[in-house]
Amino acid sequence: MPATARRSPAAALPDWRSDWTLGLVLLLACVACLLPFRTGAFERAFLADDFYYYAQIARNLATTGRSTFDGVTLTNGYHPLWLLALTLYWKLTAGGRGFFVLVNLTIVAGTLATYRLALALLTRRAPHTAFAALAAFWTAAFYLYFGRMGMEVVLTVPLALWLLRRWLARGLDTAWPGAVGAGLLASLLVLSRLDTALLLALLAAAYLLFGGPGLAQRLRTLLRHLPGMLPVPLYLLSNRLLFGTFGTASALAKHMKQGLWPSRLTLLSLFEPFGPGTVAFVLVAMALSVAGVLLLVLRPQLAATADARAVLAATLAFPWLYYLALAMTSGWRIFSWYDYALLLSALLSLELLHTAAATGLFAMWLAGPAAQRPLAFATLLLFALLLAGFNRRPQMAGVYADALALRSFAAGHPGIYAMGDRAGLTGFLLGRPLIQTEGLVMDRRMLADIRERRNLLAVLRGYGVRYYITADYRPAGGCFLALEPARSDDASAKMSATLCAAPIAYAAAPTTAVFDLRKELPLP
């Protein structure tokens, strides 16, 4: 079969009723997402601390109509599509346990969608094989690896795969209706996670450089997508009108690094915490992405069309440019849900590998029992390893224990609180107003304070804070240097203050301490 041949109708995707790998994906997702509900209240500790920034704002938006984390400060520190979904979930469940059920069901649905879309991409130009099933299963497991944390990428990955599948299968739409529809899908993608705008910019640039015939025609094609993209500028304009900035507070807070030399902290955090998941997904995805770039360079005919080559080139380049841009401008640690860029690149690399094998010398071997049995066994083995490897202890157990201790303290100590790192779950449970001193879910006033490196105590006094909580209490010489944000590198702007009075309370961890600011600075 020549390399440019399309898969035959007989090689269509298996019916979902006979797709045993889909059953494994469903079982794996259900175990991962339903396991928390066997731990009682600890179900809340299975989701990322950052998820609770969303949950708290969604609660306030659903109950008061105000987009606020602390109950007072209006904020846009979130990606909007996921916040809207969570706000709807809160309204439907009145904030009960059903809220967490809906969140986890969304993750299960996203895992299934990722598997099916991955399989559709893998068999776009090659027949369905056990290799395709294994690759799609690995992709779905990778999604679950970071998706079960409950962050906005739960929506981003299926939307991105849907859009990539559309453009790889039929090229960019040249007619108005299809182009506007693709533009609307691209808008949903950006609103699900705003940094996917970089992926779309790379796609547009690659298409203009070596897309379909005629530069003028390519330009007209891109322009026809713009009406469908209208929700994005409308969202940015609403940010400006309601919050005073086009960008989100969370993005602006994370991009206060001086100089463009890449942050070592940011780049190394891609591999943290280093463990089996990092090896099985992050390192494998990086290796696959490099292999995909080499394949596209050495065998460009595997892309079949100029449009497909543009889509593949942009997606393969995306994670490397994305992480480099973050390291140059941010200086913050990045977390597992940022791996979504690697997932997209790795999957398209797998698609190139599968097409190369299924249309070349390995075609007969891939279709025969000599490959089917070991590859099916590898799928079952990966499933068993993942099932055994799921952490039965909540990944946020320590944060949750601290939050419960702080809630008990706050019950007898009314006032306004402030906290930086790990403030999500604490803010959700505390029952008191909590100022987020990293600026992630605050406003441009707090962002200006951080950018100007103002004294932390003076800033907190301006917000009327009585109690300051730090999760990084390490005194030296009887005093403690409080830095906010604490987790960014030294090139990033920070507020600071020296606290020499002893903490008045500790949470479950000895490094989580509470200061009464009246002992440091008189408050009105």
pLDDT tens for the 524 residues of the chain, in order: 344 444 444 345 766 666 899 999 999 999 888 877 776 666 788 899 999 999 999 999 999 999 999 999 999 999 999 999 999 999 999 988 899 999 999 999 999 999 999 999 999 988 888 899 999 999 999 999 999 999 999 999 999 999 999 999 999 988 999 999 999 999 999 999 999 999 999 999 999 998 888 899 999 999 999 999 999 999 999 999 999 999 999 999 999 999 989 999 999 999 988 888 899 999 999 999 999 999 999 999 999 899 999 999 999 999 999 999 999 999 999 999 999 999 999 999 999 999 988 877 676 666 667 678 888 888 999 999 888 877 666 778 899 999 999 999 999 999 999 999 999 999 999 999 999 999 999 999 999 999 999 999 999 999 999 999 999 999 988 899 999 999 899 999 999 999 999 999 999 999 999 999 987 765 44
**Is the domain of 381 the same as that of 495?**
no
CA distance 85 to 253: 24
Exposure of 165 in the CB half-sphere (CA atoms within 13 A): 19
**Is the domain of 418 the same as that of 456?**
yes
pLDDT of residue 331: 93
**Is the domain of 210 the same as that of 154?**
yes
pLDDT of residue 216: 93
**Is the domain of 150 the same as that of 281?**
yes
**Is the domain of 98 the same as that of 167?**
yes
**Is the domain of 447 the same as that of 463?**
yes
Name the 3-class secondary structure at 513. strand
CA distance 327 to 333: 9
**Is the domain of 381 the same as that of 407?**
no
CA distance 326 to 339: 13
**Is the domain of 281 the same as that of 409?**
no
- pTM as predicted: 0.94
**Is the domain of 326 the same as that of 466?**
no
* Domain final residue, candidates 389, 417, 443: 389
* Domain final residue, candidates 358, 389, 420: 389
pLDDT of residue 521: 62
* Domain final residue, candidates 333, 361, 389: 389
Structure-block tokens of residue 63: 């109950």
**Is the domain of 157 the same as that of 135?**
yes
Contacts 24+ apart (CB under 8 A), 55-61: 55/86, 55/90, 55/99, 55/424, 55/428, 56/424, 56/427, 56/428, 56/441, 57/83, 57/441, 58/83, 58/86, 58/87, 58/89, 58/90, 59/90, 59/95, 59/428, 61/87
CA distance 128 to 12: 7
**Residues 461, 517: contact at Cβ < 8 Å?**
yes
Domain presence at residue 2: no
Residue recorded with tokens 């941010």? 330
**Helix 97-122 vs helix 80-93: crossing angle, to nearest 10:** 140
Q: How many domains are there within the chain? A: 2
**Is the domain of 385 the same as that of 415?**
no
Domain presence at residue 249: no
CA distance 398 to 150: 18
Cβ atoms within 10 Å of 258's Cβ, excluding its own: 10
Domain that holds residue 86: 19-48+79-244+262-389
Pick from 502, 516, 520: which is nearest to 468 by CA?
516
